[in-house]
Structure 1
Amino acid sequence: MRKLLVSLLILSSFSVFVNAQNQQITIEDVFGSTFRTRGMDALHSLNNGTQYTVLQHNRKNNSVSVEMYNYATSTQVATVVSSSNLPGNFYFTSYEFSNDESKLLLGGASEPIYRHSQLGTYYVYDIKTKVATLVFDKKIQEPTLSPDASKVAFVHNNNMYVKDLSNGAVKQITTDGVKNQIINGITDWVYEEEFGFVRAFEWNTNGSKLAFIRFDEREVPEFSMDIYGNGLYPTQQVFKYPKAGEANSNVSLHVYDISSKETVTVALDNPYYIPRIKWTNESNILSVRTLNRHQNELDLIFYNAANNTSELILKETDKAYVDVTDDLTFLADNSFIWTSEKSGHNHIYHYSKTGKLINQVTSGNWEVTSYYGYDVKSKQIFYQSVENGSIIRDVYTIGLNGKNKKRLSAEIGTNSAKFSANFSLFINTYSSITTPPRYTLHRSKDGKMLKEIVNNTPVLEKLMEFGVTPKEFSTISVNGYDLNMWTIKPNDFNPDKKYPVLMFQYSGPGSQQVANRWYSGNDYWHFMLAQQGYIVVCVDGRGTGFKGAKFKKITQKELGKFEVEDQIAAAKKLGELPYVDANRIGIWGWSYGGFMSSNAILKGNEVFKAAIAVAPVTSWRFYDTVYTERYMTTPQENPSGYDQNSPIYHVDKLKGNYLLIHGSADDNVHVQNTMVMIEALVQANKQFEWAIYPDKNHGIYGGNTRIQLYTKMTEFLKENL
C-alpha cells in the first residue's frame, strides 16, 4: 500500500466528519434503519443495451413490481409486471427473463432450506399476453426457462421435471430421488455451502438437452439438530453432512434428451467432485470441471453428447489447492476466457477450444478480483482488480490480446460494475470510508460518467450527527510482513491518554476485512464502542486474500497457526503505542474469527485480557470435507495440523475473560464445536461465560436476537476490558 495514498485517505476522513454533534450510537441504531443505504435491487440489463430493470417494493400498498428504466436518462419507461396484476396478488421476490425477454419467471413464498437453497412458488409471466402460468402446484426448487422459453425445468422432492408451456404437460425425468439418499439436479449441503451453487442442471444452447448432476449421499454420515420451537416436544432436523475425512456424495453426470426422452450417463472416470458444468456455444459440447479430493488438481473436460465421448481440455495443479470460480466465457469459436492463479496472482487467460494457451491477457503483481465479461464487438474484456492497492477496487477494460488497458473507475475506494447487455454502458457502484454507496452511469469505452442514479448522502449526514472518527488505514509490520490494518479511535481521542483496544478479525483463507469501502453492521457497533472509549483495530494477517497466492496459501495444512501468531504479534506491537493500555487488549470474531479469537486468548494469554468467540469452529475435525480438506487435507493424513491449532487442546492456558456464543440450530458450524469446548473448559476448571441461542442458525438473528446478542457482548467488554 502506498503511504501517500493512506495519508490522503486519513486526511479526507477527518475533514468529512469534523464539527459533528456527538450524538451517541445505540445498538438499536446499529441494527435498525438508522444507517440503512439505498441500492438497486435485482438489476438486469435488457438485450437492447439501452434499458434496464429493477425490482421495486412498495411498502405502502404491499406490492412489488419489475420496473423498466432508460440508462441514458434514468427515467422510468414502463412497469413490466406488478404483483397487483398476478393471481392472488402474488408477491414475488425474484424475477428472471427468458433469453428473448418474452417471458418472466417470477418466484415468491420462499421457504429457506440452507444458506442459499429454498423452496418456492413460481409463475411464468408472458409479457405480451400478460398471462401468468403457475409452474407447479407444489413448492419447487430452481426453475429455469429453456433458451427458447418454451419449457421450464425444475426440481421437486429431489427429482427433475420439465414443463411444456405450450400445453401444460409436465414430464418427470428422474424417479429415484429420496431425501437424504439421492438428489437429482440440486446440490447436497456441502456443495451448496462450499462450491457456492444450488442448481446442478443446465440447458444446452438450443434447449434440446438437459445436463444434470446426481448426488448419491447414502454413504454420507447424518447430522441431527434438535429444533425446540414452542411445542411440548422438540423435533429433529436430520441431514447429510460430511465432516473432514468422512465420505462425500458419489456424484455422476447425466444428459437428458428432450426429444427421445432418454438419459445418458456421462463417462468421466469417477470424478471425486464436479463443482461446475456449463454448455459451450456448440449445442452438443458440455464443459465439465472435476476436482480430486485434495482439490489441488482441476480438470476441464469437454463432453460431446453427439457421440458420448469426453476429452480433457485443460488441467490445473497446485501444491495447495485450485480455486473454483464462475470465470468461464466461451467465444464464437468455442475458445474460452478463464482465470487462474498459476502465475502466483489471479489473472485472465485466453485458451483455444483444444486447451492451447493463446494469450495471458492480464499480468502483474496484483489480483483480478472480478471478471465481468467479454464484448464480442470491441473484443474487450471487462474486469475488477486491486492493481492500485490491495484494499482498493477499480474497474478496467483490456483487449483480448492483452493490449489497450484502461482504468474506467476514477474514485479511490471500492468500485464494482454492472454492464449493459451490449457492454456499451455500465452502472458503477462506488463506496469508501467517507462515501456511502453511490450508483452512477458510465460509458464503457472510456469510463466517462454520464449520470448519477442513486446516492446515499443522507446516510453520511446521519453518521456525521454522531461525530464518529472514521477508519484510519495503515500497515503494521509483524513476522516479516507488512499487514493491512484499520483503526477506529474515540471521538475525543487524546494521545496523552491510554485506551483499551478491541481487535476484530475474520482471518479465513482468501478473506479480507481491511478494505476501503462503506461500513457494515459490525463497523457501526465498533463506532459505538469507540464513542465509549475503546480503540478498535482490525489486522488482515497471513492467509488472507488479494496479496498473491503465496501470501494466501501460507497457512496450508496449519489453519490457525500463522494467523494467530500474527494477531498476537500485532497486539504486542499495538501495546507499545503510548496511547494504548497494554493490559487491556481484547479480540473478537465470528465463525473463523471465533476460532481465531479463541486461539488468541489461549496461545496469547499474556497479551489478551478478553475474547469473544461467536459460532466458532473449535476443531476442524468437526467441519465439512470440502472447505476443511481444501486447506488441511484429511485428519487421517494431517492429525497434528488438526489438533495442534485446535483451541480445545489449549484450554489449560486460559487466563483472561472469555465469552463463547453459538446458535443451537447452526447447520454450518455445529453447536457441537461449542459444547465440546465448554466441556474441555469445565474439566480444566476454567471460568468463562457462554450463551446458546435456541433454534438460531450461523447468523444468529431474528426479532430482537441481534440486539440482545450485541448488548451482551457490549456489557461483557465493559466489565472485562
Structure 2
Amino acid sequence: MRTHMMRRFHVSAFFLLAATLVALGTNKGFTQSVSTADLRERSRPRLEAIYERGEMRAKPFRAEWLLDSSGYLVRELDEETGKAIRVVYDAASGKQRIADGNKQVGVSNHLLSPDGTKRLQEDGRSWNVLDTQSGEKRKLTAESMQPDVSYQDISWSPDGQRVLFVESDSSEVRTRNVIVPDDPSYPSVRKTRFARVGTKIPSLRIGVIEIENQQTRWSPIELPEDGGYFGQLSWAGNSDEVLVERISRFRDKREFLLAKVGGDVTSIFSETNDAWAIGSHEINSGATWIDDGKRFIFLSEKDGWRQAFSISRGGDDLRLLTPGGYDIIDRAEPNDVVDEQNGWYYFYASPSNATQRYLHRVPLDGSGTLEQVTPDNQPGWHEYQFSPDRKWAFHTYSTLNTPPVVDLVTIPEHRSIRTLEENSELRARADEVIARPAEFIQLQITKDVTVDASMIKPRDFDETKRHPVFVYVYGEPYLQTVLDRWGAAQVDFHRTIADLGYIVVSIDNRGTPSPKGAAWRRSIFGSLGPLSTEEQAAAIQELARTRSYVDLSRVGIWGWSGGGSNTLNALFRKPDVYQLGIAVVPKPQPHLYNAWFQEIYMRTPEVNADGYTRSAPIGFADGLKGKLLIMTGSGETNTHIQIIEGLVDRLIELGKPFDYMVYPNRDHGLREGKGTEVHVRMLITRYLLENLPPGPMSMSSSPQ
C-alpha cells in the first residue's frame, strides 16, 4: 500500500506543477505574474521525478529465447520466498514452469568452447583455459610484461581446438596526466593513454592459439604504418580459415580478407569512399555467413544508399539484396537476422519517414522484393528480438508521445499473441504530463533541401501570440535528435522547459545519420560545423516565416557534446539569429579531440588544415553577442576540459562576457554524484529563464 501511495504522489507532483503553470499563463508573459525564481523552483519536483526516481523511464522486458524456439526464459522473483528464479514460458500457450538448470538459451557465451567443456577466463593481462568439469586451469597466454598490451575479440574455433584474438598494443600511444580526486591537498596523478587527432594509435595484430600446445601463429595481415582498425573478425565457417575486415585509419577503405591459419590471405571484397566507408556507428561493419559458408552478407553505401549485399566466398559473385532508393537503418539485431530455411533477410528501414523505424525483409536470392513486416497501423518506432527459428519475436512499439508496449508476435504474420509489458503506470503518468503531444514537421530551407524537425509547444500555447523558441541541437554524424521514439533526445526535460513557456524545437540538418541516402550523411565531410550552422539557422528562419507565433527576438539554443560545439558555432557565427546559447561539454578545438572519431569526418590538420580551421568554434569567438553558458566536468575523459578552457581563455582575451560552470570530477555525461543530473538541468533552466523571457507576448509587443 505504501508503494502504491508513493507512486500516486509522484504522479500528482507532475500534475500539480502542470496545473500551476497553466494558471500562470497570461497574455503579457509569465514574467509579469510570477518570478523566474518561482518558475525554476516549481520545475524541481518534475526534474527530480525524471532524473532521480526515473518516473518517465519505461520498464523493459528482459527474456532469452530457448535454443529450440519453443519458449523463452525470464528471471523473476518468487512471490513466496523472494528469491530469484528462472521461469520458462511456452511461446504458443503462455504456460509457465520452473526452468531446469540445464535449459539452454539462444544467447551463447563466446568464452565457452563449442562442446561446453572449456571456458576462456581473463586473468589480469593474460588468459587461461578452465576445464568446466574438473576446474583445472592452465595458461593460454603468457602474462604480458607490457601493461599496455591487451587481447580483444577472442573466439573459439568451431572444433574447439583453436582460439582467435586481436592483440592491441598501446605502448606508443601518448599519455596524458589525469588528477585523481583522492587527497584534497596532495591529489594523485594517473597517466592514461590518449590517441589525439594525428597522433599514434594502438597497433593491432591477429593471432591464433593452438589449445593443445599454446603455440601462437600470427597472421600475415598487416595494417599501414600510420595505423588502422579491424572490424569483423571471425571463423569462416570452419576451423582453418578466418574472415577479417580490415579498415583504414581514416575509415575510407575497407576490405574483407579470407586468411588460412598459417597460410595464404585472399581478398574477397574491397571498397573506397571519398568520405568514409565505415562511420562512427559502425553499422556498415560486419558480415554474416550463409549457405553453409559459401556466401556472406554485408552492408555498404558504395552505390549511394545503405544496402545489403551477399558475396560468394571467392568474391566472384556479388548480389544486391536491397535494390531501390532507400536506406537500411540498421540490422534487425546486432547480428544479421537471416531466415535461411525460408529464404529471407530481415532489417530496419523507413523509406518514407526518416524519423521512424519498421521491420522489413527481402528474399535472400536477390530478387529484391521489399516487404514491410510491421503493420501500417502502428506508425512510430519498432524493435524486435527474434527467436532462433525466426518464427517469433518480442516486439517493442513506441512513439515520442506514447510509452512502449512489448508483445509477443509471430513472424512474418505479425500476429500479436500476448502482451509482455504494457507500462500501464507510465502510460497513466504520460497522460497527465503530456498536455500537448510533440509534433513532427518538415522545413524546406532550400530548393533541394528539406529537414525534419520536432516541436513541443507550451501547455498554454496561443497561436495568436508570439512565443520564445529553445532549440536542442546535435547536428553531427553520430546522432539524430528528431526521432519518433519514446524518450528520444531528452524529451522529458524538454517537456518541462516547454511548460515554462517556450516552444522547444529540434532539427536534423544534413550530415546527421538520417536514412536519407549517403550523400545526405556525407555532405558535412571535411569540416563539422559550417554546414550544420547554416542549415540550423535557415530552419529557424523558415519556422518563423511559416508560423507567425514564433518570436525571432527570443531564440535560444543548447546542445551536448557535438551539440555543444554546434551551439558555440551558432552563437558565434549567427549572433543575429540566437540570443542565448548553453554549450554542454563541447569541443571548440576539434584538433585536440580523439583520433578514432574526428579523423573519420575531417582526417587530420596535416591533410585538411582548412577544414579544421573552418570547423573550430574558437576561431569565431569574436562574433559572440548573446548570453553564453559553458558547462563541463573536470573529470572529462571525452572532451577534455583543456579543449574547453582554450576557448575560455580566448573569450577572456576578447573581453566577452560569458558564464562557465565546471562540475568537479564529473565525466562526459555529468551524472556522477548525488543530485548532479538534476542540478545540471536546474542550471540550464535558471539560465534560460533569467536571460530569455518565457511565455506568450502579443504580436505587437516587444520583448521585456
Change (3 A) 1:29 1:520: farther
Query: Could you tell me whether the CA contact under 8 Å between 2:481 and 2:488 is conserved in 1?
Result: no
**Aligned positions of 1:412-423 closer than 5 A:** 412-423=379-390
**Aligned positions of 1:176-187 closer than 5 A:** 177-178=144-145, 181-183=148-150, 185-186=151-152
The residue type equivalent to 2:359 in the other structure is V
The residue type equivalent to 1:166 in the other structure is Q
Identity %: 25
Q: Of the candidates 574, 579, 597, which is equivalent to residue 567 of structure 2?
A: 597
Kindly state the Cα deviation for residue 161 of structure 1 after the two structures are TM-superposed: 2.4
The 3-state SS of whatever aligns with 1:377 is coil
Q: Of the candidates 346, 354, 358, which is equivalent to residue 314 of structure 2?
A: 354
Kindly state the Cα deviation for residue 520 of structure 1 after the two structures are TM-superposed: 4.5
Change (3 A) 1:504 1:349: same
Q: Of the candidates 159, 184, 187, which is equivalent to residue 234 of structure 1?
A: 187
Name the counterpart of 1:387.
351
Write the deviation string for residues 541-571 of structure 1: whole angstroms up to 9, x where unpaired.
Answer: 0101211110000111111110111112222
Kindly state the Cα deviation for residue 236 of structure 1 after the two structures are TM-superposed: 2.7
Corresponding position: 1:691 with 2:655: no
Name the counterpart of 1:270.
223
Query: Could you tell me whether the CA contact under 8 Å between 2:459 and 2:499 is conserved in 1?
Result: yes
Query: Could you tell me whether the CA contact under 8 Å between 1:151 and 1:165 is conserved in 2?
Result: yes
Query: Could you tell me whether the CA contact under 8 Å between 1:499 and 1:581 is conserved in 2?
Result: yes
Unaligned runs of 5+ residues in structure 1 are: 1-17, 82-96, 106-142, 187-199
Name the counterpart of 1:133.
none
Name the counterpart of 1:217.
170
Name the counterpart of 1:310.
265
Whole-Å separation in 2 of the counterparts to 1:59 and 1:347: 49
The residue type equivalent to 1:202 in the other structure is S
Name the counterpart of 1:40.
61
Change (3 A) 1:333 1:253: closer
Name the counterpart of 2:374.
409
Q: Of the candidates 236, 247, 267, which is equivalent to residue 280 of structure 1?
A: 236
Q: Of the candidates 257, 280, 290, which is equivalent to residue 301 of structure 1?
A: 257
The 3-state SS of whatever aligns with 1:710 is helix
The residue type equivalent to 2:136 in the other structure is A
Write the deviation string for residues 199-240 of structure 1: whole angstroms up to 9, x where unpaired.
Answer: x21212222111111112111111222122465432233221
Whole-Å separation in 2 of the counterparts to 1:251 and 1:244: 18
Corresponding position: 1:424 with 2:379: no
Q: Of the candidates 685, 708, 712, which is equivalent to residue 679 of structure 2?
A: 708
Residues matched between the structures, number:
634
**Aligned positions of 1:99-118 closer than 5 A:** none
Name the counterpart of 1:335.
295
Name the counterpart of 1:572.
541
Change (3 A) 1:613 1:382: same
Whole-Å separation in 2 of the counterparts to 1:660 and 1:384: 37
**Aligned positions of 1:493-572 closer than 5 A:** 493-520=461-488, 522-545=490-513, 546-572=515-541
Whole-Å separation in 1 of the counterparts to 2:450 and 2:77: 46
Kindly state the Cα deviation for residue 67 of structure 1 after the two structures are TM-superposed: 3.7
The 3-state SS of whatever aligns with 2:433 is coil
The 3-state SS of whatever aligns with 2:687 is helix
Change (3 A) 1:558 1:520: closer
The residue type equivalent to 2:61 in the other structure is M
Name the counterpart of 1:157.
124
The residue type equivalent to 2:217 in the other structure is V
Whole-Å separation in 1 of the counterparts to 2:417 and 2:286: 29
Change (3 A) 1:491 1:101: closer
Query: Could you tell me whether the CA contact under 8 Å between 1:435 and 1:460 is conserved in 2?
Result: yes
Name the counterpart of 1:190.
none
Q: Of the candidates 240, 256, 267, which is equivalent to residue 209 of structure 2?
A: 256
**Aligned positions of 1:661-680 closer than 5 A:** 661-680=631-650
The residue type equivalent to 1:340 in the other structure is S
Kindly state the Cα deviation for residue 596 of structure 1 after the two structures are TM-superposed: 0.6
Corresponding position: 1:620 with 2:590: yes
Kindly state the Cα deviation for residue 61 of structure 1 after the two structures are TM-superposed: 8.4
Whole-Å separation in 1 of the counterparts to 2:298 and 2:384: 19
Q: Of the candidates 445, 452, 471, which is equivalent to residue 478 of structure 1?
A: 445
Name the counterpart of 1:245.
198
Kindly state the Cα deviation for residue 527 of structure 1 after the two structures are TM-superposed: 0.7
Kindly state the Cα deviation for residue 478 of structure 1 after the two structures are TM-superposed: 1.4
| Higher normalized strand content (fraction of residues) | 1
Query: Could you tell me whether the CA contact under 8 Å between 2:360 and 2:373 is conserved in 1?
Result: yes
Whole-Å separation in 2 of the counterparts to 1:328 and 1:30: 39
Whole-Å separation in 2 of the counterparts to 1:52 and 1:356: 41
Change (3 A) 1:253 1:62: farther
Kindly state the Cα deviation for residue 178 of structure 1 after the two structures are TM-superposed: 5.0
Query: Could you tell me whether the CA contact under 8 Å between 1:176 and 1:182 is conserved in 2?
Result: no
Whole-Å separation in 1 of the counterparts to 2:126 and 2:167: 10
The 3-state SS of whatever aligns with 1:555 is coil
Kindly state the Cα deviation for residue 490 of structure 1 after the two structures are TM-superposed: 0.7
**More deviation, 562-571/58-67:** 58-67
Whole-Å separation in 1 of the counterparts to 2:371 and 2:537: 41
The 3-state SS of whatever aligns with 1:641 is helix
The residue type equivalent to 2:356 in the other structure is I
Change (3 A) 1:356 1:103: closer
Over aligned residue pairs, what C-alpha RMSD do you find? 2.5
Query: Could you tell me whether the CA contact under 8 Å between 1:443 and 1:449 is conserved in 2?
Result: yes
Whole-Å separation in 1 of the counterparts to 2:651 and 2:83: 52
- TM (norm. structure 1) is 0.84
Query: Could you tell me whether the CA contact under 8 Å between 2:232 and 2:286 is conserved in 1?
Result: no
Kindly state the Cα deviation for residue 382 of structure 1 after the two structures are TM-superposed: 1.4
Query: Could you tell me whether the CA contact under 8 Å between 2:61 and 2:420 is conserved in 1?
Result: no
Write the deviation string for residues 312-347 of structure 1: whole angstroms up to 9, x where unpaired.
Answer: 111121111112445421121331111111121111
Kindly state the Cα deviation for residue 397 of structure 1 after the two structures are TM-superposed: 2.4
Query: Could you tell me whether the CA contact under 8 Å between 1:485 and 1:514 is conserved in 2?
Result: yes
The residue type equivalent to 1:712 in the other structure is L
Query: Could you tell me whether the CA contact under 8 Å between 2:73 and 2:105 is conserved in 1?
Result: no
Whole-Å separation in 2 of the counterparts to 1:222 and 1:416: 41
Query: Could you tell me whether the CA contact under 8 Å between 1:22 and 1:466 is conserved in 2?
Result: no
Unaligned runs of 5+ residues in structure 2 are: 1-14, 22-42, 693-704
**More deviation, 375-384/580-589:** 375-384
Q: Of the candidates 420, 423, 426, which is equivalent to residue 459 of structure 1?
A: 426
Query: Could you tell me whether the CA contact under 8 Å between 1:392 and 1:516 is conserved in 2?
Result: yes
Whole-Å separation in 2 of the counterparts to 1:62 and 1:175: 44
**More deviation, 705-714/646-655:** 646-655
Whole-Å separation in 2 of the counterparts to 1:309 and 1:104: 31
Name the counterpart of 1:71.
91
Whole-Å separation in 2 of the counterparts to 1:692 and 1:60: 49
Name the counterpart of 1:396.
360
- TM (norm. structure 2) is 0.85
Kindly state the Cα deviation for residue 59 of structure 1 after the two structures are TM-superposed: 12
Kindly state the Cα deviation for residue 284 of structure 1 after the two structures are TM-superposed: 1.3
